[in-house]
Chains A and B, each alone.
Chain A
Amino acid sequence: MPVVKIENLIKRFGKFTALNGIDLTVNQGEIYGFIGPNGAGKTTTIRILLGILKATEGKAKVFGMDAWKDAVEIHKKTAYVPGDVSLWPNLTGGEVIDLFVRLRNSNNKKRQEELIERFNLDPSKKCRTYSKGNRQKVALIAAFASDADLYVLDEPTSGLDPLMDSVFQECIKEVKDQGKSVLLSSHILSEVEKLCDKISIIRHGKIIESGTLDELRHLTRSRMVVKTKKPMEALDMIKGVHDLEVRDNIFYFQADTEELDNIMKYIAQFGIVKLESAPPTLEDLFIRHYMGDGGES
């Protein structure tokens, strides 16, 4: 049974359609990346999953239960870090962490203290005096200190410094080792690339691409850097070669994955001196989708 199952989810705010038929499945033990441009509908999807917003149409299930009706039951095993953490100005960080953990009915004081240590938070300060990153740490500590099976994280690291970011990544890995699932929405693509097993790209309230990182790459191009003995001619006439640039007799271009074989055969005629190929970064993928020239999509 999948941990999260969303089928044909539609959410309208008045006349505006924020989500227009989302499908998404997170299986047990998966770390699932959820990316997309601003206003694409990530937070809205997550809020529906948490039973904070009510779906207009479609299904949203967590642990096989209805996200809206069985919210309380689901939340006993779900930890959430919102994108915009607002805390009670006159409670201390420590008090808020305790409160959140208790509301989730878990109680692991030792783990909590260890996390406070690792995230380097002063829990006796009032929340009003915390910086943005420190507020985020409060929510993260409360989430990881809870004994949850699903972690829903909405841009949890946008305010963290690199050191804290690596603590966060360790925490995710620990959670994964325990066989728990994570749904992570983020704009920090390197992080998603590093952590996630599967990724969905959402745009205008629709999932436009999903799969493992490799599967997504498959649809796209590799970056190539080539130098040949004999001057190469008419490379740009070859099918599957894009964005060709030549500097100092070095050829920089992108190659469609399915045409790679033909391209290599062509280049080989000129005698290869140097050949570098890099898989496209998530950023390349992303930019292509964002720009709307995704071709096949």
Chain B
Amino acid sequence: MSNRFANTKILAFFILRKDRIRILIWIISIVLFTVVIGSMLPNLYSTGTDRQIMAETMKNPAITVMLGPGYGLDNYTDGAMMAHFMLIFTLLAVGIMNILMTIRNTREDEEEGRTEIIRSLPSGFLSPLTAAFFVSAAANTVLALTAGLSLYSLGFESMDFQGSMLYGASIGTAGIFFTSLTALFAQLTPITRSALGYSFGFLILAYIIRGIGDVESELLSLFSPLGLILRTEVYVNNHWWPVLLTLGLSVILAGLAMYLNTIRDLGAGFLQPKSGKAEASRFLSSPLGLALRLQRTAVISWTIGMLVLGLSYGSVLGDLEGFLDSSGLLLQMLPESEVFNLTERFVGMLLTILSILAAIPVLIFILKLKSEENAGRIEQLLAGAVSRTKLIGSYAFIGLAAAPVIQFMSVLGLWASAAFVMEDPLSFNILLKASMAYIPSVWVMAGLMVLAIGYLPRFTGAVWLYLGYAFFIAYLGDMLKLPEWMDYLSPFGHIPQIPLEEFHASKTLLSMLLAFGLTAAGFAGYRNRDIHG
């Protein structure tokens, strides 16, 4: 029995040593982010009326879809506000952290043949997986404790000890859950990229289901791990059962992953690769054809995914309409014009968010070039009669061309479901125009990624960080009353929110020029650097 786990401890320490910087950066960033926002909030809404207006606005179903249900809105304390604003984002960040960490230490090690060497040593066949679980448990526990204690140490009355620790426990538990889930997906498919795709797909799905559930049906939300964790009602009612339930689920998933690990061959999954065609289609005769072929599934899934996201955001707009009609209190507190603008304002915000999310697949499509290089497959392409410009151009083209398609899909989804649920539906033309106005911004992000790949492929992570910043500003910039210049630092911040604001040709043109310049500079860099592997 114990033979299956032989030398797990050594392996766990090895993973810790190998990934210590990575893990530390994640933990520190998440805690810092939490604490900074946590300490800012109380000063933002200091008067009673401020808070009441805020609480009233937060009942808005569009907000609920994005952030989750607001608890304690009758007495909207700093703690309640903080949890409402921040918990869901932190959960997403922790989810991403754990997915990436777990894939590295499970399927990626296996696909790269490193697990084989480990297994040939006197280590048990469950040891690598178990070691990965231990490391994740340790990292998430440290994260939970540091976040909890730091929040408590801020010393705000409404952020009491129990609530703060529950906040920490909530994110730590979510982390452990996503580790188990990722480990499970890592057993199913022999391909690292697919395992990564399934895990992130699940994370996004969990977010969407929670969004719809929080507005339409409490029960539905419980089926999403993110929805479940939000039911802790941190700083309001402090329920511990969601944490315990999620922990239990994580253990079950982890057990299942271990079981699957024991009944499969090393390097294999449960989805067997089929044989294929002995000859390449005509299509597969250029770098572009190859790049498309490699990303076929990803392109299709993302396109459908964005349609679904649009549909689900749109589905709450009916509730938004009803909410605004019935919210007498808001009408009293705000000037009438502002209230009637609210639908449009939220639609504008939704479109910004959808556009920022649309940048994710665009960046992924371009980033594929880097993973191809890391896998040592670019060398053989360049050894053919293929110019570097053509090579990077193919990936850049897919990314740039995907932007309008994906934008179109999400706005189509938004419009279609909105038309279905709203009494006074939105005009498709206006929505389309508003959404297309963001394409140059997506292109700027794409240009940055091309630039990074062209010069410093090690720093592509910075582009993701920048996108995260844009996302954060778009979501919470207003509510946190962040200064305007912070909004302008995001490529999405300059874009006028149609129909509230006028289309601005010169800004659009400027963004396009910037995107073009970045892309061209990236091409130049790529032509001039060593290709590694």
Task: Report A's interface with B, CB cutoff 8 A.
Answer: 47, 50-54, 71-73, 75-76, 78-80, 82, 84-92, 94-100, 102-105, 123-126, 128-129, 139, 152
Contact = CB atoms under 8 A, between A and B. Distances in A.
Given A98-B280, A102-B286, 4 more contacts: A85-B380, A95-B280, A96-B280, A98-B284
A129 B273 contact: yes
A41 to B, nearest CB: 14
A89 B375 CA distance: 11
Given A86-B376, A99-B290, A128-B273, A92 B278 contact: yes
B528 A54 contact: yes
B328 interface: no
B301 interface: no
Interface in B386-438: 386-388
B274 interface: yes
Contact of B276 (A54, A79, A85, A126): A126
Contact of B530 (A52, A78, A88, A100): A52
Given A50-B383, A71-B382, A82-B379, A98 B294 contact: no
B18 interface: no
Contact of A100 (B279, B380, B529): B380
A125 to B, nearest CB: 6
Given A51-B382, A86-B376, A92 B275 contact: yes
A88 B377 contact: yes
Given A52-B530, A95-B276, A103-B285, A72 B385 contact: yes
A76 B530 contact: no
A47 B386 CA distance: 15
B280 A54 contact: no
Given A82-B379, A87-B377, A103 B384 contact: yes
A125 B275 contact: yes
B391 to A, nearest CB: 10
Interface string B209-230: 0000000000000000000000
Interface in B274-308: 274-280, 284-287, 290, 293-294
Contacts of A103: 285-287, 381, 384-386
Contacts of B276: 91-92, 94-95, 124-126
B37 interface: no
Nearest to B378: A52
B190 interface: yes
Contacts of B244: none
A91 B285 CA distance: 13
A105 B385 contact: yes
Contacts of B385: 72-73, 75-76, 103-105
Interface string B26-43: 000000000000000000
